Amino acid sequence: MIPATDVGWQRGWTVFETLRVVDGGIPLLEEHVERLAKSAEAMRIRLADGIADEARQLAGLASGESRIRITVSGTGHRVLTIEPVPPDRRGAPIRAATGPWVADPFLAGSVKHGSRAGWVVAVLKAGVDEVLLVDGDGRFTEGTTSGILAVVDGRIHTAPHDDRILQSTTVCDALRVAEQLGFAVVREGALAGGPFDALYIASATRGLSPVVELDGRPLPAWDPVGRAVFEAM
């Protein structure tokens, strides 16, 4: 039971992870738990032992594809929930808009915390599925709920993990697969103005999803590089 007076839930003083569940198993579980632990340390939140085991037990109740959400409050309370993933979500095309990436003065961008109301409102105002954040140099950094991958001249571009942004477990997995397939990877965000062969967002429950519209202009859905990586993930 979480009390209504829990200051963590009241003020967004929480850390969280979303895990993909496939037929009772959790791909990349260790990576998610490691990131959760680092976020908790940065947020001065004590993380209880055994969260990975709790997630495994919960996953064992599911069939097909689901997602587990782990949320831990600054007071130490934690909630694990599981729900089915819509069958058409993975790889589904999305519409996006660009927005400015702004550094938080107190928390590194690598911290996955629950204070995300600004990003939620940005997506609602733009009337899109995702807002892709662009730094002062005009390069993509990350999405409001995702990592960003752009294919430019056959090479995959993505922002470096330099504490400005969240280190996406799905982006890391996609890059590992891409290199195994022999594709070149450039750890620098692509210029938001393009051009690109194709543009993708990456998240645990989406895998790779092509951006088919950006700021109202159409983009190509899949290119051979993105399709090959997606199918091999």
Structure confidence at residue 4 as a pLDDT band (50, 70, 90): confident
pLDDT the model gives residue 1: 76
- Name the CA dihedral angle for 110, 11, 30, 68, rounded to a multiple of 10 degrees: -130
Q: What is the mean pLDDT of residues 196-213?
A: 96
pLDDT at 62 over 90: no
Structure confidence at residue 209 as a pLDDT band (50, 70, 90): very high
pLDDT the model gives residue 3: 85
Question: Domains plus CATH for the chain?
Answer: 7-84 (3.30.470.10), 94-232 (3.20.10.10)
Q: Centre a 10 Å sphere on the Cβ of residue 90 and count the other Cβ atoms it contains.
A: 17
pLDDT at 65 over 80: yes
pLDDT at 87 over 90: no
Cα gap 95→65, rounded to integer Å: 24
Q: What is the mean pLDDT of residues 75-84?
A: 94
Q: What is the mean pLDDT of residues 42-71?
A: 94
pLDDT the model gives residue 100: 98
117 close to 125: Cβ distance less than 8 angstroms: no
pLDDT the model gives residue 185: 98
Computed over every residue of the chain, the mean pLDDT equals: 95
Q: What is the pLDDT of residues 139-150, one digit of tens each?
A: 999 999 999 999
109 close to 89: Cβ distance less than 8 angstroms: no
pLDDT the model gives residue 164: 94
pLDDT at 200 over 80: yes
Structure confidence at residue 52 as a pLDDT band (50, 70, 90): very high
pLDDT the model gives residue 64: 85
Q: What is the pLDDT of residues 20-30, one digit of tens each?
A: 999 999 999 99
